[in-house]
Structure 1
Amino acid sequence: MNALPPVFENWFARHGWSPHPHQLEMLDQAMAPALLLIAPTGGGKTMAGFLPSLVDLADGTHEGLHTLYISPLKALASDIRRNLERPVAEMGLPIRIEDRTGDTSSARKRRQRADPPHILLTTPESLALLTSYEDAARTFAGLKRVIVDEIHALEESKRGDQLMLALSRLQSLCPDLRRVGLSATVDDPQAIAHLLTRHPDPCRIVQADPGPNPDIRMLETDTPPPWSGGGGRYAIPAVLEEVKKHNTTLIFHNTRAQAEIFFHHLWLANDDALPIGIHHGSLSREQRERVEQAMVDGHLRAIVCTGSLDLGIDWGDVDLVIQVGAPKNVKRLVQRIGRANHRYNAPSKALLVPANRFEIVECHAALAAVREHDLDGETRTRGPKDVLCQHILIRACAGPFKETDLLAEIRTVGKYADLTRAEFDDCLDFVATGGYALRAYDKWQRLMQRPDGLWQLRDPRATRQIRMNIGTIMDPETLKVRYKGRGGAPLGEIEEGFAATLTPGDTFLIGGQVVRYEGLREMTVQVTRNPGKEPKIATFNGTKFATSTQLSQRILRMLEQDSWPELPPHTAEWLHLQREVSQLPKAGRLLIESFPRDSRHYTCVYGFAGRNAQQTLGLLLTKRMEELGLHPMGFVATDYATLIWGLDPLCDPEPLFDITALREGLDSWLAGNAVMKRTFKASAVIAGLIDRNYAGQRKSGRQATFSSDILYDTLLRYDPDHLMMRITREEAERGLVDFARIEEMIASIKGRIDHVTLDRLTPLSAPLFLEHGRTPVEGAAQDRLLAEAEAALMADAGLDGLPV
């Protein structure tokens, strides 16, 4: 095994530390072409990844860029730079370390290309931009290692696909480049290794001691969770008590809107004036940075947050994580738990707060999965073609290329390893001409093939526009929010659709503050302070998680138990009552309940396929019911069920679930639906068909939507098999409507449908009635009306006598 140089041994000794075995193994395996480290949070992954580079650079002989570090977060890159600079300075190593993100000045970026540091820390987007310059070969000359941090967070995202394509380009420029991946505990290390490596080369995997199991349990509250909803407001008194007991608490939410609502009510209940902050992606950079610095300085007792703090930033003295709402995904829960006690071999401490009664079951299923180290994985997909089209444009910016060389380079990326020549030619033709229906327009004539067979940009001046639009992150259509007046401080962003509903005098929440809408000026929402009025809630896009397939299956297995001693009495009795009145859903079978209520006929389908798929199922089933003359009127969906109501009873559900008919229904529905136009816009921007940025300005969401709608309608009419239309169908099915999970559900039940006809609603279906038509609560009167309606509904379902 390679020995640590004395200067490193002495540095560890001065701090009373010893290098972990996996850190020494990473040094010993440093010459492997690809190396993946799987280690728990706080396990010293960063030092393990950089140790071979620091040892290489310690003698001061290397000139230029040696190691490139890729982070999924700008803030993480900055944090790692600060953490690296300390040991480098303490050991007196002649190593220059810099970061390069969207916040780096243009002058510094130009200097970094001409005179790169020894270690450069950046993001996937900034790396793609670097590879687009003609001098990329000079910038990366001498590059020895690339480190991809938090690689599990990039595995199933287009940012990860973009990164791996950029790495294929780097590998061509630097054939001896060694790849290192750093990951938290994952369900399938081989899949992550396959993502990291240069196909078909092998990747060595180093697995650290996973350390002790986390200390994770349910938060006990005096008030039981409500029957529906997702805010967790009922638990605020108990959450405040936990905050008082700990140094710093991270309070995670699954959506930005839920985080805003919870923070607002937490602050109102904060009688001890504990310093509490809020952090999510729709807040202004200035506000996020103030919160981050306050966390580092230890000035905050709690931070209400979303996925913006999921990843491995070491924020101060965090000793407790609270997850409000069911985690939906076990891997995500483990990642968030790891933010607490960010030290090796120290158990992380976390509390789960189910937002409603059914989430109690889901949270217990997630707890069992964590204890058994049963992490959920998603189906691996082929590389998306919109990202590939963007990569071809990026490659063209760097200079002429030979198509066979580029294809061979792309096929070294695992997700594109089976890319056919016809598929590649289709993408190349689209990038070059816009495709059949658009090739008559000069705007999309971007590439030309020279007499020597090489491809190049038709107009070299196009490089600026292409570079301005590099990236796969699709920002929501938002407007900036600022305080009114000259130099008004920025607060963040709200969606255009929400802004359109505001009239002067309306109030809403942003950054935990109640503000008053004054008007719209130069695409900026102007507000003033107004803490006294009940607010509306800003609608933030963000990520809307669906319960994973593995967690859903675990829940179904729980429901097959004879009893549930691990559950609170009110929840266990609820499930027992469901079994008495009807039956509980079973794995491998589909439970459908039909019953009348208030002169309507209801059908409840327990598919456990996740919210997106259940929503899509509602659309398709109501379409099928219309065709069968059943007069459906509407539906509502959750992660586990779809409730449909109409004028006629359902007698035979089997014809509804013919997969061919459902597929045809999906195709016809998608063809004329706004979902397709939204998906088309996102893919068209990524593929380079639509520009989101122009020199000196940025398109508003409405402008971009208008131009993309025109393009979509044109292609639908004149070229429905255009590459962008095919990409759009693939993306819509995979992401927004999740039809694959419907297909998976139907295949698993194999026609085994349990149709139970009853004369009243059932205990398990009752909460879905409360999902229907819910509106923001406005005042005490509305609270009382909702409470009375809920009490009547639960009495009808026989749930009014359950223990608390």
Structure 2
Amino acid sequence: MTDPIDPDRNAAREAGTAADTDSTGGDGPDASSIPPTRQRAPRPRRIPKARIEPPRDTFTSTGYSPDPERAALPFNTRTQQWFAARGWQPFDFQREVWRSVATGASGLLHATTGAGKTWAVWFGAMAAFGDHAPRALADPLTVLWVTPMRALAADTAGALQSSARELAVPWSVGLRTGDTGSAERARQNRRMPSALVTTPESLALMLTRSDARDELKQVRLVVVDEWHELLGNKRGTQMQLALARLARWRADLQVWGLSATLGNLDFAADVLLGPVRTPRVTVSGMQPKTLIIDTLIPATIERFPWGGHLGTRQVEAVAAGIDEARTSLVFTNTRSQAEIWYRALLEARPEWAGLIALHHGSLAQEVREWVEDGLKNGTLKAVVCTSSLDLGVDFLPVERVFQIGSPKGVARLMQRAGRSGHAPGRASRITIVPTHALELVEAAAARRAVEARRIEGRDTPHKPFDVLVQHLVTVAIGGGFSAPGMLDEVRTTFAYRDLTAAEFDWALTFVERGGASLHAYPDFHRVVRDDDGVYRVPREDLIRRHRNNIGTIVSNATLQVAWLSGGRIGSMEESFISRLKPGDIFTFGGRALELVRVRDMTAYVRRASSSRGAMPQWAGSKMPLSSELADATLTMLAEAKAGVYVEPEMIAVRPLLQLQADWSALPEADVLVVEVLHTREGHHFFCYPFAGRIAHIGLASLLGWRASRHQPGTFSISANDYGFELLSSQPFDWASLIDGGLFSATHLTDDIMESLNASELAMRRFREIARVSGLIYQSHPGQHKSARQLQASSGLFYEVFRKHDSDNLLLAQADSEVKLQELELGRIERALVAMNACRLVLTHPKKPTPFAFPLIVARIREKLSTEKLADRIERMLAELDKAGR
């Protein structure tokens, strides 16, 4: 087959570069991200965003009418004209992908954000598979484009459709996500588009259709966008199983993954391409791109930092930076932090009312869509956001990005930086705004790590049985399966490559008869084997329940937040609302709200007269420091110990680091610093392994438990990304305990499970597993189950299995996930090995050091109100500053 897009013939006359296209207020509805002075809500759209309106000159229900002059030209000529009209030219990596797709290969494309990954694969698909002669009907479903986010799916569908129309390729492009309306779904059911943009969950739902094989076996290419976002979780496992199903139906299926931030490319490719039988390639398109990473260094830096206070002091400086750019994104690591910064910016610049907005996953869909549209057309000056805007939606007007606090990871910093200058040839700029002084060191370390391309690798789940159980029911609905064939199919995936026949038989028995303990209950006889040996789902009610609860995302239970007089604002975790009583005030959607009542999974509110109240806290808000960034930070501290201060951040924080070295010592990659001191609070043990907050919680619990075996005692624990504190009322001989094996990795699993009451953690983890595996379900349409009801149901199953079905593989999975994900047991073990290999520096400072101070503040924060905490810290700082002079 000849190359459908000539890579060389007109290269000399091509110029430029290629681009990648990767609520309310008052007591009535308005946009929750617009302040009271300009609080008109975006008018609801008659057509949901999930539906892509067919433009003129493209497919409609009656056919396709292309520009005959354009369609008569060869596709490679049209492509050259398309690029030239924009002043672009294809990159070498795009040409390489075009050739690879044309020759039938699958692959992983790793390219710079904004370099043109979308065009690389999409143009290759149109060239290789498109029949370029005009005709009345579209090609059958040929390309599946899978994205991890609905917003990214809608943006991608629009880009694919417009380019196909401009190139006169007679292809239709459709969109199918949870937001797709019933009319559009019905239209697709009658005839699928040539290319369909969807999500892993919607693809799994398509596999439950009775005609799934007939529709999907025509697919020739599957594109998995932002593969790094799926690789490390169960959604990625679900994607692997779906690809195995499609590859079974079509031997020459091609699969391409797209990513910009992967540290372990070969592994990522192996996971994605496990089921495919076509040749494999890995294409790197990391184009030279100006990436500016700077830090907003405060005018004054305290020598005794404490987390969270410094950020909002820099609101004026951030606002000045926003003023200099056309459009900016202000990223925060948590939703509560986004709420704080949105209000702070409005207070600093009241005239920006209606020109800045708030975007995070708990806000209503119509508000998020309004914000995204404002970013695309450049009508918004700035948007304060979370990871909800991390991925490759194309916001070309964005010129600058601010990162509030440490990004905690190199890949995350690069991903967010790429939201600005999102096109080849444009510089991307991200400014880190530290929230405490030690984050200045992290900022300098992050820039060094980016320059060295030390990007985090990602692991992937190993044999999650809840996902396998769900998939078996999915396939049983979508045409059925035979046991031997399904075992062979599942084993083609990376996740289940070593699945044993006994494990598969257990999963099959579990969906067929409910396993050893649920066989007496018909609702758990979800599949039956017919006379031909094919397993199918026998009852319509079981089919409906499965379809309503398909997917692997198990979010914390949420309540709708609505105005008492009508109008929805968004959603919030039930665990937060349950702590409030009527009359309490909290901040959400950029405004202060008073809780009136909670009824039918809805929290009814009205505007509060006071802005002082509790700030919502969302699960997962404590993002741990990555190993790569921790190592880079230790390198910076080693340079400081040697007297090398080159980076501007390090020069600014030099007095703090010198005081730390004078009073105690600076940690290094091969030096473990331990501080032991006595204050009026009691006896303190500080340790700085730089293993991340989650691992430090486990380490602190482990060491406290081991110490108490030698001498009875009770410990209070505090932890951050740098280290942890153990506080006791009586002294311990820590030097002797360390010499006696306190840091030993021997018997680690047993000791850590004992020290942390891991059975309770496993029972909480089992709730997610029970939902994914279909033991419990969120609700039927129109019904609601509270988190308490779901937890009670899963807890009952957990106890039944423990007593009567101890070999249940879902129990073993819960224990495994607690160790690997909740406790980060692997990182704890690596930390202990490193701690034993390090040179120990045990000091006895007279006062808490700059590294110890934030751990003390974090501990007392849990006990004091904001006002009392501020007073307490002010007294502590005065005493420490006096001692440090």
Q: Aligning the two structures, in what range does the TM-score lie when normalised by the shorter sequence?
A: over 0.9
Deviations 1:234-277 (A, max 9, x none): 22111001000001111111111111122222222224426211
Q: Distance in 2 between matches of 1:662 and 1:178?
A: 44
Superposition deviation, residue 6 in structure 1: 2.2
Contact 1:283 1:493 in 2 (8 A): yes
2:326 alignment partner, one of 241, 247, 261: 247
| Shift in CA distance, 724/380, structure 1 to aligned 2, threshold 3 Å | closer
Deviations 1:516-557 (A, max 9, x none): 111112221111122533121112225542111122122222
Name the SS of the counterpart of 2:352 in structure 1.
coil
Contact 1:635 1:643 in 2 (8 A): yes
Superposition deviation, residue 474 in structure 1: 1.2
Name the SS of the counterpart of 2:467 in structure 1.
helix
Mapping of residues 512-527 of structure 1, within 5 Å: 512-527=590-605
Mapping of residues 528-543 of structure 1, within 5 Å: 528-530=606-608, 532-542=610-620
Matched, 1:602 2:684: yes
Superposition deviation, residue 452 in structure 1: 4.2
Partner of 2:60: none
Contact 1:143 1:177 in 2 (8 A): yes
Q: Distance in 2 between matches of 1:671 and 1:392?
A: 33
Mapping of residues 54-133 of structure 1, within 5 Å: 54-55=126-127, 56-57=129-130, 58-60=132-134, 63-133=139-209
Partner of 2:753: 667
Q: Distance in 1 between matches of 2:246 and 2:672?
A: 50
Partner of 1:466: 546
Q: Distance in 1 between matches of 2:863 and 2:359?
A: 22
| Shift in CA distance, 763/461, structure 1 to aligned 2, threshold 3 Å | closer
1:308 alignment partner, one of 388, 404, 418: 388
Q: Distance in 1 between matches of 2:705 and 2:869?
A: 35
Q: Distance in 2 between matches of 1:48 and 1:569?
A: 44
| Shift in CA distance, 454/708, structure 1 to aligned 2, threshold 3 Å | same
Contact 1:592 1:754 in 2 (8 A): yes
Contact 2:327 2:398 in 1 (8 A): yes
Superposition CA RMSD, Å: 2.3
Superposition deviation, residue 636 in structure 1: 0.7
| Shift in CA distance, 421/595, structure 1 to aligned 2, threshold 3 Å | same
Mapping of residues 131-530 of structure 1, within 5 Å: 131-199=207-275, 203-224=280-301, 227-230=305-308, 232-273=311-352, 275-459=355-539, 461-485=541-565, 488-530=566-608
Q: Distance in 2 between matches of 1:631 and 1:757?
A: 22
1:700 alignment partner, one of 763, 767, 786: 786
Partner of 2:23: none
Superposition deviation, residue 347 in structure 1: 1.9
| Shift in CA distance, 599/101, structure 1 to aligned 2, threshold 3 Å | closer
Contact 1:481 1:525 in 2 (8 A): yes
One-letter amino acid of the structure 2 residue matched with residue 706 of structure 1:
A
Name the SS of the counterpart of 1:773 in structure 2.
helix
| Shift in CA distance, 642/571, structure 1 to aligned 2, threshold 3 Å | same
Deviates more, 1:285-294 or 1:374-383: 374-383
| Shift in CA distance, 365/388, structure 1 to aligned 2, threshold 3 Å | same
Deviations 1:75-126 (A, max 9, x none): 1111111122222333333221110000112342243233100010000000
Name the SS of the counterpart of 1:659 in structure 2.
coil
Superposition deviation, residue 572 in structure 1: 1.9
Contact 1:653 1:755 in 2 (8 A): no
Unmatched tracts of structure 2, length 5 or more: 7-74
Name the SS of the counterpart of 1:29 in structure 2.
helix
Name the SS of the counterpart of 2:383 in structure 1.
strand
Unmatched tracts of structure 1, length 5 or more: none
Deviates more, 1:23-32 or 1:764-773: 23-32
One-letter amino acid of the structure 2 residue matched with residue 613 of structure 1:
A
Q: Between Structure 1 and Structure 2, how many residues are aligned? A: 796
Q: Distance in 2 between matches of 1:653 and 1:252?
A: 44
Name the SS of the counterpart of 1:436 in structure 2.
coil
1:43 alignment partner, one of 115, 133, 136: 115
Contact 1:63 1:142 in 2 (8 A): no
One-letter amino acid of the structure 2 residue matched with residue 766 of structure 1:
F
Superposition deviation, residue 435 in structure 1: 2.5
Give the TM-score of the pair, scaled to structure 2.
0.86
Contact 1:402 1:453 in 2 (8 A): yes
Q: Distance in 2 between matches of 1:541 and 1:736?
A: 13
| Shift in CA distance, 53/204, structure 1 to aligned 2, threshold 3 Å | same
One-letter amino acid of the structure 2 residue matched with residue 754 of structure 1:
L
Q: Distance in 2 between matches of 1:522 and 1:185?
A: 42
| Shift in CA distance, 720/668, structure 1 to aligned 2, threshold 3 Å | farther
Contact 2:673 2:841 in 1 (8 A): yes
Superposition deviation, residue 218 in structure 1: 0.8
Q: Distance in 2 between matches of 1:439 and 1:564?
A: 69
Q: Distance in 1 between matches of 2:84 and 2:863?
A: 58
Identity %: 34
One-letter amino acid of the structure 2 residue matched with residue 43 of structure 1:
A
Superposition deviation, residue 44 in structure 1: 1.3
Deviations 1:434-480 (A, max 9, x none): 33233333332223334543333353541111111111111211110
Matched, 1:9 2:80: yes
Superposition deviation, residue 661 in structure 1: 4.2
Name the SS of the counterpart of 2:533 in structure 1.
coil
Name the SS of the counterpart of 2:517 in structure 1.
helix
Deviations 1:690-735 (A, max 9, x none): 1123243232212111111222222233334421210101111111
Contact 2:698 2:756 in 1 (8 A): no
| Shift in CA distance, 340/688, structure 1 to aligned 2, threshold 3 Å | same
Partner of 2:721: 639
Q: Distance in 1 between matches of 2:569 and 2:150?
A: 20
Contact 2:396 2:422 in 1 (8 A): no
Name the SS of the counterpart of 2:446 in structure 1.
helix
Q: Distance in 2 between matches of 1:443 and 1:602?
A: 55
One-letter amino acid of the structure 2 residue matched with residue 257 of structure 1:
S
One-letter amino acid of the structure 1 residue matched with residue 204 of structure 2:
A
One-letter amino acid of the structure 2 residue matched with residue 48 of structure 1:
A
| Shift in CA distance, 558/568, structure 1 to aligned 2, threshold 3 Å | closer
1:611 alignment partner, one of 693, 706, 714: 693
